[in-house]
């Protein structure tokens, strides 16, 4: 069994997890990226440099690589590529390649922050108030329903790129022309939590939920975290997954506010803080491989130790 990991970037440890699991079954991990200096490429069994995902021939090139390396399954580690793979999912599956990605509607809802807000609101799930209408934001501020500081984010952004803190009306005015490309939200001051989930590709059951409190963030990823056990948060995530219907690995961000938990973001892929879940015994990699082999996973009772702390650190390679 050979698996193709797309847009691997600097996700070295995740590539190593997949490589170890595939090698146990006499399979290989093939990694691809458009950047020849993407560190994770060099920890796979094989690697290829490919064009950017917006290149017109990108899908054709990936299909060729699937044939060349006899790929059984493919998945991406970045948000923008999820939509692309979801759109071409049936084409890959006709060639015998399982695409580990949720349906296009799930990807669209998750990637668009305003659609995420509308989805949560429609399903009676706790949400962060989200605005795209500049005039509506002004009215909410004037009516004391919103107060500074506010947060402005790209509507389709990821990895905390382009996030701006807005302190006053003058700074808000600057964003007026960009109002259709961004969302504006209140600045949440509560503690932030991350949840790593796995939804079985075959049974669509939730197999695993790992909860952690974020202690430090860097570049939009969890840099330090502590594992927690919280039945209320677990129940909320179960409700979310049932309503949304994703498959495979899912990363959810939440905040604890004065009114309880609110869901801030949904990422239907491996999150940057997944390493903590893996080391705590939540092996999504083996779940994926078992699903690829046509077998269902048994729901994990989520027995993991509370209070373990993940601390990331830097390393390097010389090329």
| Average confidence (pLDDT) over 242-261 | 97
CB-based contact 186:179 (threshold 8 Å): no
pLDDT at residue 222 in the model: 87
Measure the CA–CA gap between 313 and 293, rounded to whole angstroms: 35
pLDDT for 102-155, tens place per residue?
A: 999 999 999 999 999 999 999 999 999 999 988 899 999 999 999 999 999 999
List phi, psi (to 5°) of 74. -140, 140
Measure the CA–CA gap between 183 and 153, rounded to whole angstroms: 5
CB-based contact 198:271 (threshold 8 Å): no
- Tell me the percentage of the chain whose pLDDT exceeds 90: 87
Measure the CA–CA gap between 218 and 160, rounded to whole angstroms: 9
| pTM of the full structure | 0.94
Least confident of 8-12, 106-110, 186-190: 186-190
- Name the segment(s) of the chain with CATH classification 3.40.50.20: 2-100
CATH superfamily entry for domain 189-311: ATP-grasp fold, B domain (3.30.470.20)
- Tell me the percentage of the chain whose pLDDT exceeds 70: 97
Q: Grade residue 159 by pLDDT with cuts at 50, 70 and 90.
A: low
- Name the segment(s) of the chain with CATH classification 3.30.470.20: 189-311
CB-based contact 40:50 (threshold 8 Å): no
Tell whether the model's pLDDT for residue 70 goes beyond 70.
yes
Q: Rounded to whole angstroms, what are the CA distances from 34 to 48, 51, 56, 115, 317?
A: 9, 5, 14, 29, 18
Chain centroid to CA 53: how far?
17
Topology, domain 2-100? Rossmann fold (3.40.50)
Tokens standing for residue 100 = 């580990």
Tokens standing for residue 97 = 């390649």
Comparing CA positions, the residue from 66, 61, 69 lying closest to residue 92 is 66
Pairing of strands 206-218, 71-76: unpaired
Judged by DSSP in three states, 153 sits in: strand
Comparing CA positions, the residue from 116, 87, 118, 114 lying closest to residue 103 is 87
pLDDT at residue 302 in the model: 66
pLDDT at residue 179 in the model: 64
CATH class name, domain 129-186: alpha beta
Tell whether the model's pLDDT for residue 220 goes beyond 90.
no
- Name the segment(s) of the chain with CATH classification 3.30.1490.20: 129-186
| Average confidence (pLDDT) over 282-306 | 93
Measure the CA–CA gap between 207 and 283, rounded to whole angstroms: 10
Measure the CA–CA gap between 23 and 20, rounded to whole angstroms: 5
Measure the CA–CA gap between 147 and 169, rounded to whole angstroms: 10
List, in sequence order, the alpha helices (H) in the chain.
12-24, 58-68, 79-87, 89-94, 104-111, 113-122, 134-142, 169-174, 231-244, 274-279, 284-292
């Amino acid at each position: 069994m050979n698996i193709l990991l797309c847009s691997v970037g600097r996700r070295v440890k995740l590539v190593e997890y997949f490589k170890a699991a595939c090698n146990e079954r006499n399979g290989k991990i093939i990694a691809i990226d458009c950047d020849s200096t993407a560190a994770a490429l060099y920890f796979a069994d094989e690697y290829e440099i490919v064009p950017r995902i917006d290149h017109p021939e990108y899908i054709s090139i990936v299909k060729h690589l699937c044939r060349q390396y006899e790929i059984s399954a493919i998945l991406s580690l970045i948000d923008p590529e999820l939509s692309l793979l979801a759109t071409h999912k049936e084409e890959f599956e006709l060639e015998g390649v399982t695409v580990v990605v949720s349906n296009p509607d799930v990807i669209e809802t998750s990637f668009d922050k305003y659609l995420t807000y509308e989805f949560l609101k429609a399903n009676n799930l706790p949400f962060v108030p989200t605005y795209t209408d500049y005039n509506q934001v002004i009215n909410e501020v004037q009516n004391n329903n919103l107060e500074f500081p506010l947060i402005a984010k790209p509507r389709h952004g990821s990895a905390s790129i382009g996030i701006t803190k807005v302190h006053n009306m003058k700074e808000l005015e600057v964003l007026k022309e960009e109002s259709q490309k961004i969302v504006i939200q209140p600045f949440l001051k509560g503690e932030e939590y991350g949840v790593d989930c796995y939804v079985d590709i075959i049974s669509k059951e939730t197999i695993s939920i790992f909860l952690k409190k974020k202690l430090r963030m860097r570049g939009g990823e969890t840099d330090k975290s502590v594992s927690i056990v919280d039945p209320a948060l677990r129940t909320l995530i179960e409700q979310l997954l049932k309503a949304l219907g994703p498959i495979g690995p899912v990363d959810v961000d939440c905040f604890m506010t004065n009114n309880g938990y609110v869901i801030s973001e949904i990422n239907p892929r491996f999150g940057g803080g997944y390493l903590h879940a893996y080391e705590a015994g939540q092996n999504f990699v083996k779940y994926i491989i078992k699903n690829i082999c046509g077998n269902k996973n048994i729901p994990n009772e989520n027995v993991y130790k509370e209070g373990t702390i993940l601390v990331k650190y830097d390393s390097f390679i010389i090329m």
